């Protein structure tokens, strides 16, 4: 069949119509016949295949093999799209068999890579991840080999059914070939994620995102979400500069999706909802960034009792001055996303928040405020009605931001106020939760509220110790905070009881440490209650002793528990030794004649 003959033109026309049906028309298919256009396209492809077979005599072998391979590829994708995986696999396999001998020629390489990509996807859908990996890694290796040995822009598969004058420019060929390879990397990133090869997955995800920007092949919302998700990987590795870069790029690219649309736009209500949700999800990744950066700085700065160590602070400030400039220049090159205009917007976004450890209150507060802004943004979408779990997690992060900021605050009164803000945001949420349905969240809130009241009580005691004499107002405050902490620790411990209200003989692994800490803190709290009534004081000491004793006895019975509560156990043993003597002395004072 001569390339210029009218018969060939008709074949090309049929092929083009089949492609249009498959790619364009199929989007408009009614829900009752979702594959109508796909089936029509399939029938046309089969016709083209028969016309080719009839014309095979006397044709050039490689040219015919490639044309047949293109049809097998199109039929393979068509069957996969209509959920007929076995038939799809057969066609795709036939395509790669036809191309095998010529797979490195510019006519075949792009088609071969795309066929392998599709086989990779097909095996992923069957949950055969290892097989998918083999096809995708083979596609990756072929791309690298072709670029090394030839490197010229190869033909796009569609060109095998085009007249000479319609053929693509080298620039367009290159763009399509690179897009196919970007798909290979994108699917490999997912395969590595499935196989829990996290580092490799992140590396491939990063490369994919970079390439999508380079070749303008991406949907802004999806790209932004992938970049924000990648930031979480960098956070887990304490790479704050890279994490910030991903998030800043996510913000910039997301804004290309049109600002979050207003109701007047033609967008459907569902599209608007979806866009708002994605924006809130990116905001949540920013919250994690700010929180992680602050918490990591606290770990560096705290002494053995959890307070800020001023010597360490000075030392880290001096060290930072030295390192700062060099480090940033060196690492920036490796991670930058995008062309120069995107880069400028990303850099401007990055400058809004630091990526180095904050070393004092001022620096910590700036990061805190960025985090807090994103909390408001995330809460706008994830409201308590309809998104109760998400909403509570966001509020817990907000509380954690206040908690870590308090670490940097030197003034005890102001520190107390920050913890009070945590109480004000958590208590109302706890009040509306049904513990029957939300047992885990309910326990988390009980424990955090107890811990926060405990912390405030400790701060009020420290403030009281600086006074000449404790006034009745401070005493009242200390006692009321201690009682509230006890109340929430007890609620938490009660949630561990069985339906007959019996406390477990042996605690489950995941609640062991919190339960022991709760017992230990309650023991300490009873010791902190201030009363002028010696009888009451004796009762408090007795209760305190019982809680300390529980800890000691439990660890004797289950020695495995010791490693989870070493510090608490040591102090409990000490108190179990001391308290009886103190109680004896107090009894003697009460009844001197016994």
Domain membership of residue 400 (yes or no) is no
Most confident of 15-24, 340-349, 422-431: 422-431
For the segment 184-204, the average pLDDT, to the nearest whole number, is 94
Q: Are residues 57 and 151 in the same domain?
A: yes
Q: Are residues 554 and 575 in the same domain?
A: yes
* Separation CA 358–CA 41 (nearest Å): 60
Position 466 pLDDT exceeds 50: yes
Position 2 pLDDT exceeds 50: no
Q: What's the pLDDT at 272? A: 86
Q: What's the pLDDT at 268? A: 75
Tell the residue number behind the tokens 């405990």, with chain if given. 454
Position 78 pLDDT exceeds 50: yes
DSSP H helical segments within 238-268, as ranges? 240-254
Q: Are residues 182 and 152 in the same domain?
A: yes
Domain end call among 455, 474, 501: 501
Could you report the per-residue pLDDT of 41-70, keeping only the tens digit for each? 999 999 999 888 776 655 577 888 899 999
Q: Are residues 566 and 431 in the same domain?
A: no
pLDDT band, very low/low/confident/very high, at 27 (cuts 50, 70, 90): confident
Domain membership of residue 242 (yes or no) is no
Question: What CATH number does the domain containing 175 carry?
Answer: 1.25.40.10
Domain membership of residue 402 (yes or no) is no
Position 594 pLDDT exceeds 80: no
* Separation CA 57–CA 68 (nearest Å): 14
Q: Are residues 459 and 520 in the same domain?
A: no
Structural domain of 531? 504-593
Q: Are residues 25 and 162 in the same domain?
A: yes
Domain membership of residue 13 (yes or no) is yes
| Residue 308 DSSP code | B
Can you give the three-state secondary structure of 335-380, one letter per residue? Answer: HCCCCHHHHHHHHHHHCCCCCCCCCCHHHHHHHHHHHHHHHHHHHH
267: how many CB neighbours lie within 10 A of its CB? 16
Position 8 pLDDT exceeds 90: no
Mean pLDDT check: name the lowest of 502-511, 565-574, 582-591. 582-591
Helix 61-81 × helix 36-54 angle, to 10°:
160
Furthest C-alpha separation in the chain? 125
DSSP H helical segments within 302-336, as ranges? 310-335
Q: What's the pLDDT at 58? A: 55
Number of domains in the chain: 3
For residue 95, give both structure tokens. 């395509």
Q: What's the pLDDT at 468? A: 84
Q: What's the pLDDT at 329? A: 58
Q: What's the pLDDT at 322? A: 78
The contacts of residue 106 (CB under 8 Å, 6+ apart) are 150, 152, 153, 154, 155
Q: What's the pLDDT at 88? A: 95
For the segment 150-159, the average pLDDT, to the nearest whole number, is 93
pLDDT band, very low/low/confident/very high, at 485 (cuts 50, 70, 90): very high
Q: What's the pLDDT at 62? A: 80
pLDDT band, very low/low/confident/very high, at 332 (cuts 50, 70, 90): low
| Residue 101 DSSP code | G
For the segment 134-153, the average pLDDT, to the nearest whole number, is 95
pLDDT band, very low/low/confident/very high, at 460 (cuts 50, 70, 90): very high
For the segment 1-19, the average pLDDT, to the nearest whole number, is 76
227 vs 470: which has the higher pLDDT: 227
For the segment 96-105, the average pLDDT, to the nearest whole number, is 93
For the segment 377-384, the average pLDDT, to the nearest whole number, is 95
Could you report the per-residue pLDDT of 301-313, keeping only the tens digit for each? 998 888 899 999 9
Position 262 pLDDT exceeds 50: no
Domain membership of residue 280 (yes or no) is no
pLDDT band, very low/low/confident/very high, at 334 (cuts 50, 70, 90): low
Q: Are residues 71 and 187 in the same domain?
A: yes
Q: What's the pLDDT at 82? A: 92
* Separation CA 209–CA 278 (nearest Å): 17
| Residue 256 DSSP code | G
Q: What's the pLDDT at 258? A: 66
Could you report the per-residue pLDDT of 544-578, keeping only the tens digit for each? 999 999 999 999 999 999 999 999 999 999 999 99
CB hemisphere CA count around 360 (13 angstroms): 9
Domain end call among 454, 478, 501: 501
For the segment 125-149, the average pLDDT, to the nearest whole number, is 96
Q: What's the pLDDT at 232? A: 94
Q: What's the pLDDT at 380? A: 95
% of the chain surpassing 90 pLDDT: 73
Domain membership of residue 74 (yes or no) is yes
Q: Are residues 486 and 509 in the same domain?
A: no
For the segment 279-298, the average pLDDT, to the nearest whole number, is 97
Q: Are residues 442 and 573 in the same domain?
A: no
For the segment 210-238, the average pLDDT, to the nearest whole number, is 91
Q: Are residues 439 and 518 in the same domain?
A: no
Domain membership of residue 273 (yes or no) is no
pLDDT band, very low/low/confident/very high, at 152 (cuts 50, 70, 90): very high
Q: Are residues 73 and 115 in the same domain?
A: yes
Q: Mean pLDDT across the chain, nearest whole number?
A: 90
The contacts of residue 546 (CB under 8 Å, 6+ apart) are 523
Domain end call among 164, 193, 218: 218
Domain membership of residue 348 (yes or no) is no
% of the chain surpassing 70 pLDDT: 93
Q: Are residues 133 and 29 in the same domain?
A: yes
């Amino acid at each position: 069949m001569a390339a210029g003959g009218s018969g060939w033109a008709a074949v090309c026309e049929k092929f083009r119509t089949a492609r249009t049906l498959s790619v364009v028309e199929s989007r408009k298919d009614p829900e009752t016949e979702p594959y109508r256009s796909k089936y029509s396209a399939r029938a046309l492809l089969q016709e083209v295949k028969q016309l080719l077979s009839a014309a095979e005599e006397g044709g050039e072998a490689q040219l015919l093999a490639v044309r047949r391979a293109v049809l097998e590829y199109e039929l393979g994708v068509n069957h996969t799209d209509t959920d007929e995986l076995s038939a799809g696999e057969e066609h795709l396999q036939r395509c790669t068999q036809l191309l095998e001998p010529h797979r490195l020629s510019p006519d075949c390489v792009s088609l071969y890579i795309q066929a392998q990509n599709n086989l990779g996807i097909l095996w992923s859908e069957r949950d055969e991840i290892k097989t998918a990996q083999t096809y995708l890694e083979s596609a990756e290796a072929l791309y690298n080999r072709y670029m090394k040995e030839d490197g010229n822009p190869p033909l796009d598969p569609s060109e095998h059914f085009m007249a000479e004058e319609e053929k693509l420019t080298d620039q367009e060929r290159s763009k399509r070939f690179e897009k196919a390879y970007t798909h290979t990397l994108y699917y490999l990133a997912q395969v590595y994620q499935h196989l829990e090869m996290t580092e490799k997955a992140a590396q491939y995800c990063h490369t994919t995102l970079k390439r999508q920007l380079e070749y303008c092949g991406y949907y802004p919302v999806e790209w932004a979400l992938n970049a924000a998700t990648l930031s979480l990987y960098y956070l887990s590795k304490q790479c704050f500069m890279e994490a910030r870069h991903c998030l800043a790029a996510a913000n910039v690219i997301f804004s290309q999706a049109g600002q979050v649309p207003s109701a007047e736009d033609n967008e459907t209500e569902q599209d608007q909802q979806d866009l708002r949700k994605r924006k809130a999800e990116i905001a949540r990744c920013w919250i994690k960034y700010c929180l992680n950066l602050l918490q990591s700085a606290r770990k560096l700065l705290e002494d053995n009792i959890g307070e800020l160590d001023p010597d360490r602070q000075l030392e880290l400030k001096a060290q930072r001055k030295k390192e700062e400039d060099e480090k940033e220049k060196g690492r920036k090159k490796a991670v930058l996303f995008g062309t120069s205009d995107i880069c400028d917007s990303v850099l401007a976004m990055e400058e809004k928040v630091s990526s180095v450890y904050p070393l004092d209150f001022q620096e910590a507060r700036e990061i805190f405020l960025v985090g807090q802004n994103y909390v408001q943004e995330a809460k706008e979408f994830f409201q308590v009605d309809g998104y109760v779990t998400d909403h509570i997690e966001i509020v817990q992060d907000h509380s954690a931001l206040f908690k870590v900021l308090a670490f940097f605050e030197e003034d005890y009164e102001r520190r107390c106020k920050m913890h009070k803000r945590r109480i004000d945001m958590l208590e109302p949420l706890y009040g509306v939760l049904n513990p029957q349905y939300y047992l885990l969240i309910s326990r988390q809130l009980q424990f955090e509220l107890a811990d926060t009241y405990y912390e405030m009580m400790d701060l009020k005691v420290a403030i009281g110790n600086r006074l000449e004499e404790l006034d009745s107002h401070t005493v009242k405050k200390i006692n009321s905070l201690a009682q509230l902490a006890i109340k929430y620790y007890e609620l938490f411990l009660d949630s561990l009881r069985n339906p007959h209200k019996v406390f477990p003989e042996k605690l489950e692994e995941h609640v062991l440490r919190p339960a022991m800490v709760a017992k230990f803190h309650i023991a300490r709290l009873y010791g902190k209650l201030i009363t002028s009534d010696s009888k009451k004081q004796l009762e408090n000491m007795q209760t305190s002793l019982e809680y300390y004793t529980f800890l000691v006895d439990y660890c004797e019975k289950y020695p495995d528990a010791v490693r989870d509560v070493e510090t608490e156990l040591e102090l409990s043993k000490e108190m179990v030794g001391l308290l009886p003597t103190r109680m004896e002395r107090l009894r003697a004072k009460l009844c001197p004649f016994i």
